[in-house]
Structure 1
Amino acid sequence: MLEKKIKVLICDDHDIVCQGLVNIVSDEPDMEIVGCATNLDSALTLIKKLNPDVVLADIRLGDESGFDLIKQSCQAGFEIPFIMITGFHNEFYLSKAIENGAAGLLSKESPGRVIVNSIRLTFDGHSV
């Protein structure tokens, strides 16, 4: 019998990044992509509609912030672990991610196996 798949929502304002993450995660038999959002409003709509288990969210969502996404989803009553992803190597973002309640922070340069293992760890209640 198959166990429940980990439902993953991806939020990034760059289509190429979304598609790359979809390709990486979709290959995993214990995960499924439930949606992709390109901005804060669409991400909140999908969170409310799809109730994902883990959200991969870019720190920068155009003129908006992935940190605002965490705050607003918490205010809406959702307790979903967020893994922030970024192309910037800056310790400020790590402390800001922790401060805002993210379960972790990953570089967009992370290998696929690191990304999927981080999703599993976060789903199991760990930080990455």
Structure 2
Amino acid sequence: MFKYNFLFLNEVSSKEEVDILVSQQIEKTYGIPTTEVRKKIQMRKALGSVQVSKNFELPHIEYDGKSQGVFLVNYFLQEDLHSSLFLIVNPKEINEDLEKFLKNILDETGLESLRRCKNSNEFEKIIKGV
């Protein structure tokens, strides 16, 4: 299985603030230093858009660790609901369960279920239902 975390933010001032908060949580969960996570997020975004649907981003952090997973963040920015599903992956050894989850969730129906997610329990049901 892969790790999964959820964070709901009532109001943020910018996507940069979301990246900072998520980086701190990823450090706690995966042991990747916050500064390294932020650098990897910025490097990925510099390659091009990470948007997969309206107000939905799919950034990823590549590292050489064994633990892999997803970190869903739903947040309000300027009164609009946004979602980011951060992937934490080892590109040399992608977790089979994570790969299956992504194949099944990355369509408009799956993305909509992630957008509506309000807490960790709902996210767990989505993860286990796939």
> Larger strand proportion, structure 1 or 2?
2
Same fold (TM over 0.5): no
